[in-house]
Structure 1
């Protein structure tokens, strides 16, 4: 293999010559979209690496009318689930030869629209939205404009969507508490404008119904997904004589807020109050009382979202990944007398 002159830019022609193949063969071997596993392609890639060749994906994408870039819109990156989701989307996009860039929008629909337009102004090949509301106009507008897009973690039921099966997840959480002997079970769920909030509550109600338990409406609390929302709900539920013995919190942030409220009321999680969270964030297993939580396969959801954009038109358009329950100390041991009081 002849060395390339020091300081010069290594071209595709240089790689082809050093590999002993044609320029078109070298180009195909280095195209991340095809990722050929043949021995010849592997040889070309090895030579390219030794020469220090860098493929200009942006320029080649422009020639095809693509930028190989995807825009990801999340409410906020301070939310652990959203940050983890973006990391998984970034990895999944990279494996398909795409670069992912993120923008945040908060919960305001106008800010969401502006953030989406900012990403589109950068000629992204598609948008992935983790912001969808059931009353959100943005997915409809994207469909009308024929903009490639996918919703992630949430769905409006129409646009291509990749998410966990939230109804199954809510069912698993409450079924676990029922199986431990609890009958006085509260549910603290997310906003009613999100598919997650509605579906997790529906699953919880199904588990209660199967056990012939009636959910007390004062023990069903809807609100935001922040720790402060969980603390407020915990205060409302635990600051009374007639309190639940178990709580399903529809995400781990809510669960941590309820833990703080329980501590304030001198209740021990796992003994005086059983608690189940949702999403199984990394902190859940490392809390002073490790949190039982519903695990959602974010990596699988991310790969599905990328597929929905890269391979549009495949059925079904709304694809759900199966969650699983991870039992830990916060849900406690089975009750002996049913209601734990």
Structure 2
């Protein structure tokens, strides 16, 4: 079967005729929402490909009152986790016949609302928010306007949310250090205005409490999620007088900042200081001392978020993916001290 001549438009009628089926049957076979596996549908798709047929998904979606487009709002794409999250959301959306577009908002609530309106002005079928503040009013405003939306990597406890179980992750990280024999454990968590920061700290406190460990004053530090925040926390914790034997850092950026502070003070990670991060970003395993980290299954979270958007009435509205601890060289037993 020959492809149409250059410039010729192959219509659905042409595909149906060449396939020996009705136009409605050809349409159903080529509808990305149905993805029928029948032999007849496979034959129609093969004929369409050979003819060079290109389905106008945008036009058909408009006829259904849809654009098959989702808006994704992130604080910034320079953040590794946010960039990875968007890639997974884009992949998950594509597998369901949707296109994902991203907008960045920074940390200002006003900028976030303006970015959301920009996406809504493009008639997206739903919004996915990866912005982090617990006091963020945007989810409430979207609920009041009946805008289909879902939160990823965090939750306000009300809007549909897909995230990792951060409390379990914090628990796994600190329990790992305790099982290695550490009792002098510090925790550098994320900002208190984030659900991730508060949940990971709650998990860490639970593990410490079970072991009968009371952290020293100054060993529970709320910081930002940047490398510079980790460096500042490391400078505070690794002073000459007393320091912990182990640190749980609530994300890998914080852990890398602590590594830099440790290097400056000639403290050897994995020998003088055990260190556990969070998120298991690609760089974690490639550092000079590979970083033990809590792996967050972003692919599962992305698929769940897309499901919540496509079927917004389903329960439960808050869905958590179980994290996994990945042990590496940065965590080790406490070094004997003179």
TM-score, reference length from structure 1: 0.97
Q: Is the 8 A contact 1:132 1:151 kept in 2?
A: no
Q: Is the 8 A contact 2:103 2:115 kept in 1?
A: yes
> What SS is found at the alignment partner of 2:181?
coil
Aligned length: 338
Counterpart mapping for 1:208-227 below 5 A:
208-227=208-227
Distance 1:137 1:217 in 2: 34
> What SS is found at the alignment partner of 1:289?
coil
> What SS is found at the alignment partner of 2:330?
helix
State the Cα RMSD in Å.
Answer: 1.2
Who is 1:139 aligned against?
139
Distance 2:240 2:335 in 1: 23
Distance 1:320 1:273 in 2: 31
Q: Is the 8 A contact 2:272 2:334 kept in 1?
A: no
Distance 1:46 1:173 in 2: 51
Q: Is the 8 A contact 2:278 2:293 kept in 1?
A: yes
The 1:289–1:18 alpha-carbon spacing in structure 2 relative to 1, beyond 3 Å, is same
Q: Is structure 2 residue 65 aligned with structure 1 residue 68?
A: no
For residue 336 of structure 1, report the CA deviation from its aligned partner.
7.2
Distance 2:3 2:268 in 1: 69
CA shift digits 1:105-136 (9 cap, x unpaired): 11111111110000000000000000031101
Who is 2:122 aligned against?
122
Unmatched segments (≥5 aa) in structure 1 = none
TM-score, reference length from structure 2: 0.98
Distance 1:3 1:163 in 2: 46
Distance 2:236 2:5 in 1: 73
Who is 1:7 aligned against?
7
For residue 9 of structure 1, report the CA deviation from its aligned partner.
1.2
Unmatched segments (≥5 aa) in structure 2 = none
Counterpart mapping for 1:55-134 below 5 A:
55-134=55-134
For residue 216 of structure 1, report the CA deviation from its aligned partner.
2.1
Distance 1:3 1:72 in 2: 38
Who is 2:163 aligned against?
163
Distance 2:237 2:101 in 1: 41
Distance 1:301 1:210 in 2: 29
CA shift digits 1:224-251 (9 cap, x unpaired): 1010100011011112411111000000
